[in-house]
Structure 1
Amino acid sequence: MSHVDLRPSPMLKAVRRRSGRVWLLASVLIAAPVATPVLALLWQALQGSNGLWPHLLAYVLPQAFLQTGMLLVGVGVLVTLLGTSTAWLVTAYDFPGRRLLEWALLLPLAMPTYIIAYAYLDLLHPIGWVQGAIRAALGYASPRDFRLPEIRSMAGCIVLLSFVLYPYVYLTTRAMFFTQAANLVEVSRTLGTGRGRVFWRVALPLARPAIAVGVSLALMEALNDIGASEFLGVKTLTVSVYTTWVTRSDLPGAAQIAVAMLLLVVALVTIERWARRRQRYWSSAQRARSFTPHRLGSVSGLAAFALGLIPVLIGFIAPASYLAVEAWKRFRFAGLSPRLLSETFNTVTLSAMATLAILLFGLVIAYAARSLPGRLTAALQRISTVGYAMPGTVLAIGILVPVAALDRMIDQTALAWLGMPTGLLLIGSGAALGYAYVTRFLAISVGSVEAGFSRIPRSFDHAARSLGQNVTGTFRHIHLPLSKPSLVAAGLLVFVDCMKELPATLLLRPLNFETLATHLYGEAARGTYEEASIAALAIVLVGTLPVIVLARIGRWKS
């Protein structure tokens, strides 16, 4: 009986090794530029700031740290209450309108923080129609007789940011509540635990890791905010970085404050991981089943629906309705401005190009970690996601330093060889801004693609290898076709995030280059709210697209 050798030939082994090295090298080339801003920020912070620190220590940093801490504590508490309570409401109880609330509670994700601040500053103005209607109902004639508490305050900033950011906690916590097995709840009921105490004794302790993840994401978004904080008069560290750089023209001083912010972000992530260091949750995929929600009566069901609708009303419906009305007034009065059309073109073009690059780089990083598992690829994957933890203002400073140095080198080289300068080629062309988008949002692409790859059994890889495919062939024939849904979802999320990004866009945009976000910021800073309503409405409408996708994904999983 003849013997057939099924082992791959030495030439085939060499081809496979070469293919794997290509993916590893590509991962290194992607991760290195992502890590560069952090190193550049530290280097710039060591340059000194011409005696600025005595002024910062005496007048700026104490107030900035205090206000930043108060903002983060307030937002953390409020998003925990809103996100956890709404997640439990739509998971544990059945009432008319529950399916509507399940996806409607995600809608505030479409409302950037600076837009909700912009909308409510005009909605709740002392001489606005809201306060005017309240005074008329109460019998008062003037704002001097009665007015609501000032929205331009720390409390106002905490409330508005929380009603926009609570969906981060809602998403992660609802997923955990939904996957908790019915037998855990049923056993607690048989042991005498009341329905209300099941939440405190069983569901909430099991959901603590998910709550911690959602809160940490919300806090990093709050720390990244610059528009809402500045509009509402809260001088956070992010606002201090911006004013130190732009107003005082002191880049080293701004870099030093940015390093302090980066340390704060690291502390937030460390605290989050430490808080759930011993939290583990196991569930058998074959035996676990979701518990059946308790059916409420007509009156209590209506009350539950009304309570669940309040965050949606404050976080999305009211500001979106205001924007729609104001945009329609502006359109009837002056039509669409040519400047608005050019800004829309700038926003869509830049966001689309950045999204394509981010998806490509995310595919490379995630597939290298999948096909070549080891400490090196795992480290490269972690490095590639570090930009998402950096506020946009901090990232902009870290990018400006190496990009400006490269611009100077290109300019000097062109002048020496060609006799003509190039100027600020990378910064002036928008390449630096695209670099910021890639660094900031690469983590979304990597995470989404990795989640898509995790659903593909390893046996598919082994079968492809046994049929003679190398690493690249397996990717092309197996992983890429099966990962298209996760790629589409990641692309949509990244595109919308690029459109909404404000701090990095403000600081790195070329001269005379405006996006919808920077246009809105400029008009709101001048107090001309009606001029920015169309741009704000366009951002919100585009921002609803990933909410629809998330809602469809959640319904499909259910």
Structure 2
Amino acid sequence: MVATFLSYWSGRPARHLDGWSVAAVLICLFILGPILALWMMAFGDSQGLWRHLVATVLPRYVVNTLLLMLGVGVLSVLFGVSTAWVITRYAFPGKRVFEWLLLLPAAIPAYIIAYTYTDFLEYAGPIQSLLRDLFGWQRPTDYWFPEIRSLGGAVLVMASVLYPYIYMVTRIAFRLTPASLFEIALVHDKSQFWSVGLPLARPAITAGLALVLMEVVSDFGTVEYFAVETITLGIFNVWLGMNNIVAAAQISLFGFVFILSLLGLELYARSRQRFSGNGKSAVELQPLRLRTKGQLACQAVCALPLLLGFVIPVGVLLKFVLGNPITDQLGQVIDTVGATMMMAGAAAVLIVAVSTLLVLAATYRGGVAVRRLTMAASSGYAIPGTMLAIGVLVFAGVVDRSWAGLVGDPRATLLLGGGGILLTAYLVRFQAVGYGALMSGIRRLPDNMMNASRVLGHGFGYSLKRVILPLLRGSMLAGGLLCFVDIMKELPITLLLRPFDFETLATYTYQFAKDEMLETAALPALMIVVAGLVPVILMNNMLRRAG
């Protein structure tokens, strides 16, 4: 009888559309609204500007985007795979420290490292000044020095902060590789890296690379500061510079090709991740002992990306913060911190609440259609902020016009003119973060836990309140923290959609850095870096559990 009851109750959600499912469907349609609005806007009339763009600047946008993706991809793979292999396979002094230090560059947004490297490597910076003092050079024509504000400079700074995506997944893949396979390679005198480690980790590397390239396509702050004309910067210029949102939407639609390709690449890589073992290997993989030269080489491999991605930029920021009086700007910075925390906190709470409802509805109440719709609603994270801002603005206009007609007041608004449009944009952009954290948590729960509570006579709401939600508290907290930090660092959406006279730490830093006032921008930039350490700590804990 119990089995019959469980079968009946677990089957009901797939056949009946209850209140939970209806709420989930309505929320998903709201989240997907800006994405659909972007597509609809792209088919509007750009007054001939689209043909002009295709004939002039669009090819340059595409070529620069592809070159940037290629350069950042190659360098990120080099940094990420080499450090993951060294950490996994070799024993050397400082290994335990490097394990988590190598994740620190992920705490720094790419646009902040771009600001610091410009100061560090420019003509009046410490490196060129030292070279002139050493060799007696007097003028810029006396020597050649690479220009940091260029495509090559963008490749360097972005790869230095994005390689942890690849390092993290590759390190897990190396640790999950059975020790017996490495032993077989040794017996047959084959390279453990080329014959075993790299081939088996290739799907994980590909998945991490896809994430890196999506970040490259989405980046605005770095390419704008370095004047590298990519598709993302082109959208910004056409929208605000040429005042043509339709043409900007058309470029966004064109950029969708890159996003869809990268999403397909990631899904393909994840589908190739198969393990035939039955759990953790009985024989743990033992790291190889090295002589002094080998140990120094391992330390150098780990130290280089850490130096480029964290030590130098943080050192530059600390130099400005400690070397300049901050009392004049302290009041404004405190106000900006308060506004940032209020907006990021409100958005994080909203995202976690929505994600919790969607995950619970998809898991316990909805059918296949509801589950697929909730997954589709999590696609906003893959869309660059400049593209998404167009869709949110168009969608907010439709919602506000509908609301004004409903209440009979043409001045009535719900989203435009206040923080509502920013909260909507953050929800669409970062809902995937909260949804992923909650879905990961609920998948760790036993399948029959809800059914067992129902057998004891408790209702669905009571079972959620007393059984499921307490067990998801950690996942909710982790998802909320990740969303909070991501929103603090978010630049293009906040810059394009913020209310008048509203600043976050990201926009405050951007406004001064673009005017070459890095001394003023250093303190808020350092605060963003400190906040970014939260997901780094969470990632390190996850890696330790995986290892």
TM-score normalised by length of structure 1: 0.92
User: Is it true that 1:227 corresponds to 2:216 in the alignment?
Assistant: no
CA contact (8 A) 2:13 2:364 kept: no
CA contact (8 A) 1:365 1:380 kept: no
Query: For the residues of structure 2 that align with 1:13 and 1:165, how far apart are their CA atoms?
Result: 43
Query: For the residues of structure 1 that align with 2:333 and 2:280, how far apart are their CA atoms?
Result: 54
Query: For the residues of structure 2 that align with 1:213 and 1:14, how far apart are their CA atoms?
Result: 35
CA contact (8 A) 2:21 2:366 kept: no
CA contact (8 A) 2:204 2:273 kept: no
1:333-344 paired onto structure 2 within 5 Å: 334-344=327-337
Per the alignment, residue 53 of structure 1 pairs with 50
Once the two structures are aligned, what percentage of the paired residues are identical?
38
User: Is it true that 1:438 corresponds to 2:434 in the alignment?
Assistant: no
- In the superposition, relative to structure 1, how do residues 20 and 289 fare at CA in structure 2: closer, same or farther (>3 Å)? farther
Per the alignment, residue 500 of structure 1 pairs with 489
Could you list the per-position Cα deviations for residues 339-378 of structure 1 after superposition, in whole angstroms to 9, with x for gaps in the alignment? 2222211111110011011111111222223224742133
User: Is it true that 1:388 corresponds to 2:388 in the alignment?
Assistant: no
- In the superposition, relative to structure 1, how do residues 477 and 131 fare at CA in structure 2: closer, same or farther (>3 Å)? same
Query: For the residues of structure 2 that align with 1:23 and 1:186, how far apart are their CA atoms?
Result: 53
1:348-497 paired onto structure 2 within 5 Å: 348-372=341-365, 374-411=367-404, 416=408, 421-422=411-412, 425-497=414-486
RMSD: 2.5
Query: For the residues of structure 1 that align with 2:425 and 2:351, how far apart are their CA atoms?
Result: 11
CA contact (8 A) 2:381 2:432 kept: yes
- In the superposition, relative to structure 1, how do residues 34 and 302 fare at CA in structure 2: closer, same or farther (>3 Å)? same
TM-score normalised by length of structure 2: 0.94
User: What SS is found at the alignment partner of 2:167?
Assistant: helix
Query: For the residues of structure 2 that align with 1:506 and 1:6, how far apart are their CA atoms?
Result: 56
CA contact (8 A) 2:176 2:280 kept: no
Structure 1, 282-291 or 147-156: larger mean CA deviation? 282-291
Query: For the residues of structure 2 that align with 1:421 and 1:276, how far apart are their CA atoms?
Result: 49
Could you list the per-position Cα deviations for residues 180-216 of structure 1 after superposition, in whole angstroms to 9, with x for gaps in the alignment? 22222223323x134xx11111111111111111111
1:43-192 paired onto structure 2 within 5 Å: 43-190=40-187, 192=188
Deviation at 1:298, TM superposition (A): 3.3
Q: Which runs of 5+ in 2 are unaligned?
A: none
CA contact (8 A) 2:38 2:391 kept: yes
- In the superposition, relative to structure 1, how do residues 7 and 53 fare at CA in structure 2: closer, same or farther (>3 Å)? closer
Structure 1 residue identity aligned to 2:226: L
Per the alignment, residue 193 of structure 1 pairs with 189
CA contact (8 A) 1:178 1:290 kept: no
Deviation at 1:99, TM superposition (A): 0.7
Which of the numbers 307, 314, 317 marks the counterpart of 2:308? Answer: 314
Structure 2 residue identity aligned to 1:523: F
Structure 1, 451-460 or 346-355: larger mean CA deviation? 451-460
- In the superposition, relative to structure 1, how do residues 340 and 411 fare at CA in structure 2: closer, same or farther (>3 Å)? farther
Per the alignment, residue 511 of structure 2 pairs with 522
User: What SS is found at the alignment partner of 2:411?
Assistant: coil
Matched pairs, number:
546
Query: For the residues of structure 1 that align with 2:272 and 2:205, how far apart are their CA atoms?
Result: 15
Deviation at 1:147, TM superposition (A): 4.2
User: Is it true that 1:37 corresponds to 2:38 in the alignment?
Assistant: no
Which of the numbers 275, 284, 306 marks the counterpart of 1:281? Answer: 275
Q: Which runs of 5+ in 1 are unaligned?
A: none
Query: For the residues of structure 1 that align with 2:40 and 2:72, how far apart are their CA atoms?
Result: 32
CA contact (8 A) 2:438 2:479 kept: yes
Deviation at 1:483, TM superposition (A): 2.2
Deviation at 1:176, TM superposition (A): 1.2
CA contact (8 A) 1:449 1:486 kept: yes
Could you list the per-position Cα deviations for residues 143-198 of structure 1 after superposition, in whole angstroms to 9, with x for gaps in the alignment? 331242001111111111011100001111111111222222223323x134xx11
CA contact (8 A) 1:92 1:293 kept: yes
Structure 1, 300-309 or 391-400: larger mean CA deviation? 300-309
Structure 2 residue identity aligned to 1:233: A
Which of the numbers 294, 308, 312 marks the counterpart of 1:300? Answer: 294
User: What SS is found at the alignment partner of 1:24?
Assistant: helix
User: Is it true that 1:511 corresponds to 2:504 in the alignment?
Assistant: no
